[in-house]
Structure 1
């Protein structure tokens, strides 16, 4: 029976990322290199994650592997098709398809991590003799005999051994100690050669001159014949070995490369995140094979006109809803309207007032009493039917349902256990968000100034949310690259497949399951919803016309329809890694990608401003975007105690003369100046000096960002027209200047 490895504790976020299974690390002081292993001591996450949330995580992982396989296996520049199990872990491959089995997952809260010493590769600090041990359980016995291998004799051996800080790594996910052993494909099998080809000696010196790792070399102890420091990846060699003799595989595809275990290239953890809700009645519509209720809800939510309901049916529905009086008043206004229109001269103001009242009642009833009786227009039906093929993080249907759930659970009328409101309108505030020692007049002036800047930024709603619940999770890893393909000098322009691997199984009860490390957190965030009329005017100013729709249909419905059309076009669709938007001058001006870029860029603008004022670093924030509702959420990420960083920042930065410094900074055009101005503009208006944040914090790995959507003076790099945009902030300022002033 194999001994259980020791375990250690770290913070949960560290255990899910930096110390996740198969990562390489050293203990404090920089000595004692180890490899992390899955731990059976972690508790199940069932109390914190509902079955539906666990199901959604499993679906996201399935989608992640599918998208990864599609991208990694395209084989650009290679002489052979890419085997599927060189693109993804063979444990998710079945019948040449990617199939992630959710029943083989264990959702865990990371409290512990196992570890073993690694690499078991050592060098004498005096004579450079190299010795390696193949199994950790043999290390103690083997180490006691190290000195017997010394070329100068056991009695004169320095017996001072240093663990190597370099390993062999490969994009298949393999990592091995540095050894003089070589693998070859010979006679149809993989064979190992660990002795000198000249004298059959099995002892080697390892010379490590300063400079590049490529300069390292082994040397036979007896005949002094040099041997290069190189190794071939076992998994890749077994797959591509038969193709080598046929000149169909490149040696660069198979060769491992020496990497410091301290380098990020040795390990990249993979995961995702999702919002966690108490009630999932809307989210559950995504899992139903019957799309009727989903389409009806979307049609109602975004103002699609009802089917031809006659007055008798309307009266029946309204009487059942207890709105008979409103129906009678509506009919009276409607019947009197022709009389007003026939008058000479015509009372225009009164007519417009009556029409506005009727339109308002129609819209209200369409959203409520007549919900479910809307026309199922082709675009919405198509989105409801085909959304299972959409990438989840870009799916506007999922965004719409998440936003509706967020609105009901977090944005409207709930309180925390300590009595504070879960969500606070920042143009109204509560006593906890005003600066100290302000009188009534100063508070009023502060709120007026906040509203002015809200309007200058084109926002319709600005809220602090005190309970943003998010689940972040990790499930697998890659090596040498965090992306599905990698290029190497010796492979030319060929794209080599990076293999995405699951964490190894851990014993839970009587089963071996793959751990999913989950971090469930509740922190503060800012919720922003843009002004729809301002967005429409901005789109029109830049020659961008959303999908046509009936009068009264909200922009969000039109965006959902356009997205459904876009997904059928490989040049403009939203794939997992957004390859379509990495190419220059390739995408026409469409509403959905531009609205997404607008929301995403403003989220990063707010995030950068909040980071500079709250003391939180950029990587400690997260974001969530709701394109159909023209809204986004920026929130603090972290498993440590939430000390009210964002609410404290808002309170401390408030001032009656300019409202709040956060908004004042965002309104200031200088806030979007960039220290790499010309370079930044060339790449589309987003770089580390202005808008980019750590990729682990960004939804899109810093794609679909451009300062130009906010301030003009350029365009995103993917924009095919190449014509400078009019900035959203410019449109918002113009609208604010033209708005009537309250007396």
Structure 2
């Protein structure tokens, strides 16, 4: 303990990235010996591509920017919030948040350093308080603790207990309990510390710990028994706000630290994020600022916007460049011949129609291939591409579109894995690894048919099991007293005080000192689901939710991107990092984008809940990713332990010819969305821990934008301003499925 280099310990990687991350407080087995974790050199570099590192750096930059904005708003404070009280000063440059990727070290968490903390002790017999200011002096000073005993060193019990309560502050600072306290001296403009009793000048105190709340704890002077409350002021905050105290422009409550058990979660909150890891950046590279024109073309092509009016010369040039000049020449000959044939007697009309259809078919094929990227973006799409640098990444529909296209290429159409299994499998088709043992071919056919029927009842256009979803989860910073950017306290009234987001301390990497980013790279199974666009459009229309006007054949996804661009300019509607806008009651009009996000998000949680009950995984073992423009979402297993095929085994074991698969059968059953707190839950907008909420660490929005009403009706989200109860999506989906079944039956009978 007296050495300068702290010892290290090993835990699971998941624990070292969260519960034992740098600056956390913990005790070893047995509950004694409190310590603080420290950043440790020696962790190996994470095997991440340059693309993944760049995206992580961008996400961390956005995280700090959003945190600074939210923490710095200073609601009901008497002064502007200094930026240094909102975020770590090491990410500030000229009062601008700037996180440099070169200052980060992407590491695999394999060990962590630790030191004893807090260095504050009390006698188990009399309660005498002793403390040590410096770790390297602890051994020598602890040996002299008995000399301060009021009964004399010889009669001292010499039995010292580490105090299990610390003083902490939303600036991120933490200290051991002490009878000393700091105050601001306005005359000299500095901080002074008072360590002696105000009555008798004694510098020794008992720590009294009566049963009950920590508010009852206090110090008592050894000599005159004068009581001193537990009071300390945060040094950094006092430096910045001390001059404002005398001018009555700051609150004392902003500066005071507060006692908290080092076992309590309020003593430490790690912060991080996660992202899907892809091998190729064909589409993701379009998100760069220099690729705006290509990005507009990609979106226009993907979502069915009409192509730019290309003249014949440009069409010919593009087709010849693609090696298809002969097709163009033949196309022109037939097109020029049709007017002459129309004027010729006795030419069969069927022949003319066939030629026109062939010309149209070729034009459509060229528009989707050779002419792709030459589409004319509408003003809404162009605006979204130009202004998306200000969007929150996880809610950016343009990024979702690029990620979805990459997912389709790499996973949904990804071929085979090294063990011969398909990367992804359609659940209505399955493969030999997903079919229960012992079924005959007629039983397998019946099972597939029932799965397909239930997918229709759920309004799904596609559902696939993916066997290789790569995810990187990482942590990079921490806060104290609160996991959100602001905190309120009774003594501060309705004032919001800034919670400071702090990077992990630097570690030595080669010749440089860098801030560690603790990365957990995972490859697990998951489910991909995509909703039926016709059913979604019907659901929106039934509930009076308008969509942006568009030309014929333009997919809903394009209109959603346009709507998001318009919403982002309205502070009351935009999707901010912490979704404050959607925490208000009855404040948001019925718009397509937030409603479709809520629909997809709620269905993802529904699938997670059902899967957790059948797979042996807990709710926190799942993750999710949402692709709003493509009406799709991904639910996958999270975890650093070996993937034993939890989801594929669940699917195989729950398959049965009479009902297809129990997972889907449970989702279709309306009982699965009943809530034990029905009336309370409905008042909250149809989402509570009794039904579709999951641990916040697993949810992409920390359990915002959720409502069972989007699936089954009987209410509306709490932010909905319209009022009337919704018609659930499952009702609309069932209507469409029954109509298709009736058409199929009618076609079969004829």
For the aligned pair, the TM-score class normalised by the smaller chain equals over 0.9
How far off its partner does 1:377 sit?
1.4
Greater shift, 87-96 or 695-704, is seen at 87-96
Is the aligned partner of 1:158 residue 2:157?
A: yes
In structure 2, stretches of 5+ residues that fail to align are: none
CA distance in 2, matches of 1:289, 1:505: 33
In the other structure, the counterpart of 2:53 is: 54
Q: Deviations over 1:612-664 (max 9, x none)?
A: 11111111110001111111000001111000000000000000000000000
Write out aligned runs for 1:152-301 (5 A).
152-186=151-185, 187-301=188-302
Q: Confirm or deny: 8 A CA contact 2:181 2:194 kept in the other structure.
A: yes
1:422/1:465 contact within 8 Å kept: yes
Q: Give the superposition deviation at 1:289.
A: 2.2
Q: Which secondary structure state, in structure 2, belongs to the residue aligned with residue 398 of structure 1?
A: helix
Please say if residues 604 and 691 of structure 1, whose CA atoms lie closer than 8 Å, have aligned partners that are also in contact. Answer: yes
Describe the shift of the 1:178–1:337 C-alpha distance in structure 2 as closer, same or farther (beyond 3 A): farther
Residue 403 of structure 1 corresponds to: 404
Tell me, in whole angstroms, the C-alpha distance in 1 between the residues paired with 2:358 and 2:18.
Answer: 56
The change in CA–CA distance for 1:389 and 1:134 in structure 2 (over 3 A counts) is same
Take 2:505 and 2:6, find their aligned partners in 1: how far apart are those partners?
A: 14
Q: Deviations over 1:558-609 (max 9, x none)?
A: 1111111111111101111111111111111111111111111111010111
What residue number does 2:565 align with? Answer: 564
- Would the alpha carbon gap of residues 364 and 426 (structure 1) be closer, same or farther in structure 2, given more than 3 Å must change? farther
Please tell me whether the aligned partners of residues 337 and 354 of structure 1 are also in contact (alpha carbons under 8 angstroms). no
The question of whether the paired residues in 1 share the 8 Å contact of 2:459 and 2:733 is answered with yes
Contact 1:623 1:633 in 2 (8 A): yes
Q: CA contact under 8 A between 1:315 and 1:324: conserved in structure 2?
A: no
What SS does the aligned partner of 1:289 have? helix
Whether contact under 8 Å (2:331, 2:359) holds in the other structure is no
Partners in 2 of 1:339 and 1:582 — Cα distance?
A: 66
Distance apart, 1:328 and its partner CA: 5.6
Name the residue aligned to 1:730.
Answer: 731
Q: Secondary structure at the match of 1:473?
A: strand
Residue 364 (structure 1) shift: 4.1
Q: Which residue of 2 aligns with 1:28?
A: 29
Which residue does the alignment assign to 1:438?
439
State the shift of 1:337 in Å. 12
Measured in 1, the distance between the counterparts of 2:744 and 2:262 equals 63
Is the Cα–Cα contact under 8 Å of residues 624 and 699 in structure 1 kept in the other structure?
Answer: yes
For the residues of structure 2 that align with 1:126 and 1:336, how far apart are their CA atoms? 107
Q: Does 1:588 align with 2:586?
A: no
Show the counterpart of 1:68. Answer: 67
Distance 1:361 1:629, change over 3 A: farther
Kept in 1, the 8 Å contact 2:338–2:352? The answer is no
Mapped partners of 2:656, 2:284: distance in 1 = 41
* Aligned 1:89-108 pairs, distance under 5 A: 89-108=88-107
What is the DSSP-based 3-state SS (H/G/I as helix, E as strand, rest coil) of the residue aligned with 1:157? coil
Pair 181,402 (structure 1): closer, same or farther in 2 beyond 3 Å = same
2:525 partner SS: strand
C-alpha contact 1:33 1:118 (8 A) present in aligned 2: yes
Q: Structure 1: which 5+ residue stretches go unaligned?
A: none
Partner of 1:526: 527
Comparing 548-557 with 469-478, greater Cα deviation is found at 548-557
Q: Shift in Å at residue 469 of structure 1?
A: 0.3
Tell me the secondary structure at the aligned position of residue 171 of structure 2: coil
Q: CA deviation at 1:310?
A: 3.6
Query: 1:438 and 1:265, CA in 2 relative to 1: closer, same or farther beyond 3 A?
Result: same
Q: Retained in 1: the 8 A contact 2:334–2:355? A: no
SS in structure 2 at match of 1:291:
helix
Give the Cα–Cα distance (whole angstroms) in 1 for the partners of residues 336 and 580 of structure 2. 53
2: CA distance, partners of 1:542 / 1:725:
6
Please tell me whether the aligned partners of residues 308 and 376 of structure 2 are also in contact (alpha carbons under 8 angstroms). Answer: yes
Per the alignment, residue 423 of structure 2 pairs with 422
Q: In the aligned structure 2, how far is the partner of 1:359 from the partner of 1:27?
A: 74
1:223 CA drift (Å)? 1.1
Deviations 1:58-101 (A, max 9, x none): 11111101110111111111111111111111111221211112
1:541 deviation in Å? 0.9
Conservation of the 8 A alpha-carbon contact between 1:269 and 1:476: yes
Return the alpha-carbon distance in structure 2 between the equivalents of residues 338 and 201 of structure 1: 114
Q: Specify the alignment match of 1:88 in structure 2.
A: 87
Q: How far is 1:352 from its partner?
A: 11
Taking the aligned partners of 1:350 and 1:580, their CA distance within structure 2 comes to: 60
TM-aligned CA deviation for residue 196 of structure 1: 1.2
Distance 1:556 1:5, change over 3 A: same
Q: CA deviation at 1:482?
A: 0.4
Partners of 2:290 and 2:451 lie apart in 1 by 46
C-alpha deviation, 1:367, in angstroms: 2.5
Query: 1:350: how far off?
Result: 12
Counterpart in 1 of 2:466?
A: 465
Residue 134 of structure 1 corresponds to: 133
Looking at structure 2, the residues matched to 352 and 537 of structure 1 have their Cα atoms a distance apart, in angstroms, of 34
> Greater CA deviation, 204-213 or 102-111?
102-111
Q: Distance in 2 between matches of 1:2 and 1:309?
A: 75
**Cα drift, residue 280 of structure 1:** 1.1
- CA distance in 2 between counterparts of 1:19 and 1:444 reads 51
Judge conservation of contact 1:87–1:500 (CA < 8 Å) in 2: yes
The Cα of 1:288 is off from its aligned counterpart by: 3.7
Over 3 Å counting, the alpha-carbon distance change for 1:453 and 1:91 in structure 2 is: same
CA distance in 2, matches of 1:356, 1:598: 39
> Cα offset for 1:2?
6.6
| 2:346 is equivalent to residue 368 of structure 1 | no
Contact 1:588/1:720 (<8 A) preserved: yes
Query: Deviation string for 1:684-711 (max 9, x for gaps)?
Result: 1111011111111111111111111111
Residue 122 (structure 2) aligns with = 123
Moved over 6 A (4+): 329-340, 349-360
Residues 32, 318 of structure 1: alpha-carbon distance in 2 compared, 3 angstrom cutoff: same
* 1:671 partner SS: helix
Deviations 1:437-476 (A, max 9, x none): 1111111000000000000000011000000001111110
Deviation at 1:22, TM superposition (A): 0.2
CA deviation map 1:288-313 (0-9, x unaligned)? 42411111111111111111124564
TM-score normalized by the length of structure 1: 0.95
Q: Return the offset for 1:281.
A: 2.1
Structure 1 CA distance for aligned equivalents of residues 668 and 336 of structure 2: 45
1:110 counterpart = 2:113: no
C-alpha deviation, 1:215, in angstroms? 0.0
Aligned partners of 2:124 and 2:159 also within 8 Å: yes
State the TM-score, normalizing by the size of structure 2: 0.95
CA distance in 2: counterparts of 1:33 and 1:155, whole angstroms: 28
- Offset of residue 150 of structure 1: 1.1
Deviation of 1:211 after TM superposition, in Å, equals 0.3
Contact in 1 for aligned 2:122/2:162 (Cα 8 Å): yes
1:145-183: CA deviation from partner (whole Å, max 9, x where unpaired): 111111111111111111111100111111110111101
SS in 1 for 2:263: coil
Alignment CA distance shift 1:481-1:644 (3 Å): same
Shift of 1:399: 0.6
In 1, Cα distance between equivalents of 2:133 and 2:308: 73
Q: Paired residue for 1:652?
A: 653
SS in 1 for 2:551: coil
Structure 2 match to 1:493: 494
CA separation of 1:277/1:137 partners in 2, compared to 1, >3 Å: closer, same or farther?
A: same
Other structure's SS at 2:140 match: helix
Q: Report the CA distance shift for 1:666/1:258 in structure 2 as closer, same or farther (over 3 A).
A: same
- CA deviations 1:107-149 (Å, max 9, x no partner) are 1111110000000111111100111111111111111111111
